[in-house]
Amino acid sequence: MSTITSQSDVLADGREIIYFDDADTTLGKTRSADTRDLPDRPATASMRQDPLTGEWISIASARQSRAFLPPAHLDPLAPQTLTNPSEVPSNYDVAVFENRSPSFGPLLEDDNAPRGLDDLAEVGIGRTRTAVGRCEVVCFSPEHEGSFGSLSRSRARTVIEAWAARTAALSALPGIEQVFPFENRGVEIGVTLLHPHGQIYSYPYVTPRTQRLLASIDSYGPDLFADILASEQAGDRVVLAGKHWTAYVPFAARWPVEVHMLPHRHVPDFTGTTDEERNELAVLYLRLLRGVDALYDTQTPYIAAWHQAPVSVGRDDIRLMLQLTSPRRAADKLKYLAGSEAAMGAWIGDVPPEETANRVREAIARADQENPV
């Protein structure tokens, strides 16, 4: 039986690239060397603490120079050609590489690295730390346009394997406290490349959203995720279910389109999932995304966020979870975060979650007929 394989290489400026080959790949094993003449890597970004919240803000000015909606012949995520010196030297199925302009990067030049969670939890004025971490780009396909939902079942399974492998590798790096795979889709979300791709951020701290989750678990108890799943499975907001996973519109959805997905057993991150769970996820996730795209006549912008337990805290309580959100509240309307949401974090939902669940279920059924996985 064929299996998904991977191999690592180094780009011209020393960044790592990892190729993941489909189980049914038609590619050979040889990969071309990166012969570009690249400048040195930029200095690692700096973090500044907001003393009003205790949160850390990465100031990553190198991101200002990243590509913005380039034409297909200059796609930086396509395989390199003589006229396109892109980031990926060879043809590929799935490729993962260190971001050239990362929000979090290696400790290259100074010694102001975070000194653990206790150090980062202290609050003061004018506090800074180096934004130590790692940001990776996950290229889902060598094609110029598309998204996860446009992949084949085999390719979707390869991406899931890459998420699991990179979560394991990044979690083992010194100073990493949380690993976050995600996909931004659509210019309405702020996407600057049309190429089908996602990212993986590795943070030197536990993110604010996860800190609030840990506080909720402390208040409710360690069965929070199990009880949420049981409650949703017994209700009318489930949109898709299998042997190992259930997707549903949450009871208190913030966004006009919001779907969560949970595994049926406790796993803290992708590394804990089995082959059988990954195989089913490849099918269910494609069906979900194609259904979300079938809500309207044009593609749906979204953020697909895979929340994972931190590396060193909460692993027995926080379960791997997809939170897919879209600001699209009608065919020609978007929800913008204005005064209450943006300034106060006090959300107002525009669409009843039960209505959204009905619409998503109907859209999944249409997509299953028109574009079966």
Spell out a b/e string for 174-197, using b for 16 or more CB atoms within 10 Å of the CB, else e. ebbbbbbbbbbbbeeeebebbbbb
Residue type, 350: D
Q: Which two three-digit tokens encode residue 328?
A: 């699209």
Is residue 289 classed exposed, middle or buried when 0-12, 13-18 and 19+ CB atoms within 10 A define those classes?
buried
Q: Which of 60, 64, 67, 62 is nearest to 104 (CA)?
A: 60
176 contact partners, CB below 8 Å, separation of at least 6: 133, 134, 170, 202, 203, 204, 311
Vertex 355: Cα angle to 351 and 356 (nearest 5)? 70
Query: Phi and psi at residue 63, in whole multiples of 5°?
Result: -65, -20
Helix (H) or strand (E) segment spanning residue 290: helix 275-293
> Considering 197, 244, 266, 307, which one is annotated as catalytic?
197
Spell out a b/e string for 66-88, using b for 16 or more CB atoms within 10 Å of the CB, else e. ebeebeeeebbbbbbeeeebbbb
Q: Which two three-digit tokens encode residue 232?
A: 């949703």
> Which 8-state DSSP code applies to residue 148?
G
51 contact partners, CB below 8 Å, separation of at least 6: 123, 124, 125, 127
Task: Kindly list the distances between the CA atom of residue 358 and the CA atoms of 59, 257, 361, 365, in Å, as whole numbers in the listed order.
Answer: 42, 11, 5, 11
> Which 8-state DSSP code applies to residue 258?
E
Q: Is 195 a catalytic residue?
A: no
Give the catalytic positions in this structure. 197
